[in-house]
Amino acid sequence: MTGLARDPARAGFLSEAGVEVVQGDIGDPERLRAQVAGAEVVFHLAAAAGVATHARMAAVNIWGTDNVLQAARDAGVARFVHVSTISVYGYTRRGVVDETARLHPIGEGYGDTKAIGERLALRSGLPATVVRPAQVYGPRSQPWTVRLIDLTRWFVPLVDGGRGTCHPIYIDDIVDLLVLAAHHPDAPGQVFNGSPDPPATWRDFLTGYGRMHGHSRVVSVPRWLLTLPLGGGGGRVPPHGPAAAGAHHAQLPHRRRDVQQPQGARGAGVDAARRSRRGDAPQRGMAARARPPPACGTIGRARPFIHPGP
């Protein structure tokens, strides 16, 4: 298993997990082509988000994606798993939003450029699958764990009592879904929302972090306050700028379709998402234990190419 990193020194956690980390950049198509050669599966996770400029997001999320797709075509990979985001739906949608919902450009760099990137993947001619993760929390998650631990240290700030829906899904559930997308025979050409169904509320999710600090203090705050920088990390909640603050107040359940599972297989779909929902509080025990069906092989039988992002 090989992972591409611009700075391998920052990817030590991957090396410790047994991944061969190589230095590279998706902005360098020639070198990328040589590094992807021989791979059977490509997981494309690289993205520019947060405080990056619109030009930087376009360079990575569109042109960088095109470079990875070209390298994958040249390598003749068996599967291409493109990791997108539920931000492609916009931040003001209401009602049920499933994978058939029309994407909603809003002039915000992250969601708009990721939407273009996933269209490139689906039209690439590769056996590609798109996964749109929601709010992935767990170890090393800066926006949905590390910064929220800082945010809730003394009290839990809630907009409108935290009644709006949020979509937290544990990292293990998303990994299971990505692995399934890389192996399941029905996955190519499909799009899957990686989100809990039914969703949690912001109160459910954030008070879980409060309990980790040993308190249950809740404070009502105006929406604009959540766009201010947090602590020493300089992050914001939500992480994609003021436009995303509306997500704290929107009723936006995401519902995903399951691919038909071969008999005896356990999928990273609705059942796994419901396990993420039932616990509400951020706990390690929420992780689903889905695995690809034996008939599809295991990840160790291929040489997957994982791009962990910048």
pLDDT of residue 52 exceeding 60, the answer is yes
- Please report the pLDDT score of residue 157 as a whole number: 92
Contact call for residues 248 and 187 (beta carbons, < 8 A): no
Other beta carbons within 10 Å of 135: 24
Identify the band that residue 181 occupies on the pLDDT scale cut at 50, 70 and 90.
very high
Q: What proportion of the chain, given as a percentage, has pLDDT over 70?
A: 73
Question: Which residues lie closer than 8 Å to 215 by C-beta, 6 or more apart?
Answer: 154, 155
For residues 253 and 235, what is the distance between their CA atoms, to the nearest angstrom? 25
Question: Which residues lie closer than 8 Å to 99 by C-beta, 6 or more apart?
Answer: 132, 190, 191, 192, 193, 256, 257
pLDDT of residue 199 exceeding 60, the answer is yes
Domain formed by 2-307, architecture: 3-Layer(aba) Sandwich (3.40)
pTM for this prediction = 0.77
- Name the helix (H) or strand (E) containing 151: helix 147-151
For residues 80 and 61, what is the distance between their CA atoms, to the nearest angstrom? 16
- Please report the pLDDT score of residue 286 as a whole number: 26
For residues 158 and 160, what is the distance between their CA atoms, to the nearest angstrom? 6
For residues 183 and 292, what is the distance between their CA atoms, to the nearest angstrom? 7
Average pLDDT, whole number, for the chain?
A: 77
Which tens digits make up the pLDDT trace of 109-131? 999 999 999 999 999 999 999 99
pLDDT of residue 29 exceeding 50, the answer is yes
pLDDT of residue 5 exceeding 60, the answer is yes
pLDDT of residue 171 exceeding 90, the answer is yes
pLDDT of residue 230 exceeding 70, the answer is no
